Amino acid sequence: MKKARVATYLANFFDHFDTAIYGFLVPIIAPMFFPKSDPMIALIQGYGVVIVGLVTRPLGAWYYSKKAQRDGPQLALINTIQGMTITTFCFVFLDTYENWGIYGALGLCALRGLQSFFGSGEVSIAGLYVLEGSDPNKQHQITSMYLSSQMAGILLAGAIASIIFYSNSPQLYWKWPFYGSLITSASGWWLRKQQIPKFLPKPTTKNTKHNWNGIFRVAFVSGFSYVLYSASFLFFNSLSALLTKTPIAKIMASNAALIIFDLSLLIILGRLFRILDCKPLLKKIITTSIILIPTLFLLLPHLEFIGICIARILMITLGVAFCIPMHRWYMEEFPTNNRYKTTAIGYAIGSETIGRTFPTVGMALWYYTNSTIAPGIYIALIGALALMSLGKSAHEKK
């Protein structure tokens, strides 16, 4: 299982590179596929393509959770990376509005929808698969390594996107990473094929109904985790540029350093948390977030560049500290016979409806209330729902 776990880390690295590269290249891609819109509207449309994931991501989670339950998680993960390989490579066949008209944008939406379908299966299953059969005292550390492989893939995607941005003609080179994705995805697929442990299908005939209570609990907990990351790496960038004198280019340039900080913190906290109970730890992090994050948003208009970086570091620290024990909570809270289905569908719903929509919801809250604390209060409310979703700890029930 150790070799299979290492293969999963490496395959996860390649998979998240493929998923992230589109997001980093949107400022280049959007004007080519939505040229008749105002530049800002075109950018919003480029990012808004992910809305198709509201449908395809839950479908992917449902399909691959059933496949993992029936055929084993390893075979399901081989299938997801095959799908990601083909879908990501197909971006090279797209053409711009100038040649294809609206069909170019429709093709972009279709491929992003398929990426969400396969990517949902990957994210929902792999995080639990690496914990199968592991020592409970090592699960936080294993999760930190798994999440580190994600961030490393995203870091590589950001680095390659930066090279393209600083080239003389980025519009000519935007497809290059998608050509490269054929190599990275194929490498991840080959790694997974090397280790296929024996799997005995678990009986499901007596448990065919969805655990809707568990699904919605996972949705709020995972949604809160996703909001912490989207607030740190996406929303705070735009809002800081609007409210302070710090240029957006300077704020964006700090992303690479913050991703490296995130990556290092995952490794450090994974070791520090190894003997801690997950549920009390998650509750303490949520409580701290409910108090601290609205305060950071309230102070934002008065911050300089260093202050903005410190605020983002604090939010990143909360996000990292929360996501490490979250996977162990999945393992402890939900029975084996419906764990993959419950967590996969719940994570897909939470990440799409709560997590990915936060930049849009947060910007609307700030715009219509003219209050910088409003997005922070929204995060606090999501945190309160996540806190209730965790339920009582064993010592609290006595």
Q: What's the average model confidence in pLDDT over 87-114?
A: 87
* Range scoring the smallest mean pLDDT among 36-40, 79-83, 101-105: 36-40
Which range in 268-277, 282-291, 300-309, 384-393 is most confidently predicted, on average pLDDT?
282-291
Burial of 303 from C-beta contacts in 10 A (0-12 / 13-18 / 19+): middle
Whether residue 158 contacts residue 255, with contact meaning beta carbons closer than 8 Å, is answered with: yes
- For residue 274, pLDDT over 50 is answered with yes
Output 265 or 159, whichever has higher pLDDT: 265
- Please give the pLDDT value at position 394: 44
Tokens coding 136:
């409970």
Per-residue pLDDT at 37: 64
| Distance (Å, whole) CA 265 – CA 316 | 9
Q: DSSP 3-state assignment of 311?
A: helix
Domains of the chain: 1-197 (1.20.1250.20), 208-398 (1.20.1250)
274 vs 350, more confident: 350
The length of the chain, given as a count of residues: 398
pLDDT of residue 44: 67
Q: What does the alpha-carbon distance between residue 21 and residue 29 come to, in Å, rounded to a whole number?
A: 11
Residue 133 near residue 198, CB atoms below 8 Å: no
pLDDT at residue 221, rounded to an integer: 95
User: pLDDT tens, 5-16?
Assistant: 777 777 778 777
Q: How many CB atoms lie within 10 A of CB 113?
A: 21
- pLDDT, residue 322, reads 94
pLDDT category of residue 203 using cuts at 50, 70 and 90: low
On whether the CB atoms of residues 114 and 87 are closer than 8 A, the answer is: yes
Band of residue 335 on the pLDDT scale cut at 50, 70, 90: confident
Q: Is the pLDDT of residue 77 over 90?
A: no
For the cut 60, the answer to whether the pLDDT of residue 88 exceeds it is yes
Percent of the chain at pLDDT exceeding 70: 87
| Helices of type H across 34-101 | 39-48, 53-71, 73-89, 97-100
User: Is the pLDDT reported for residue 196 higher than 70?
Assistant: no
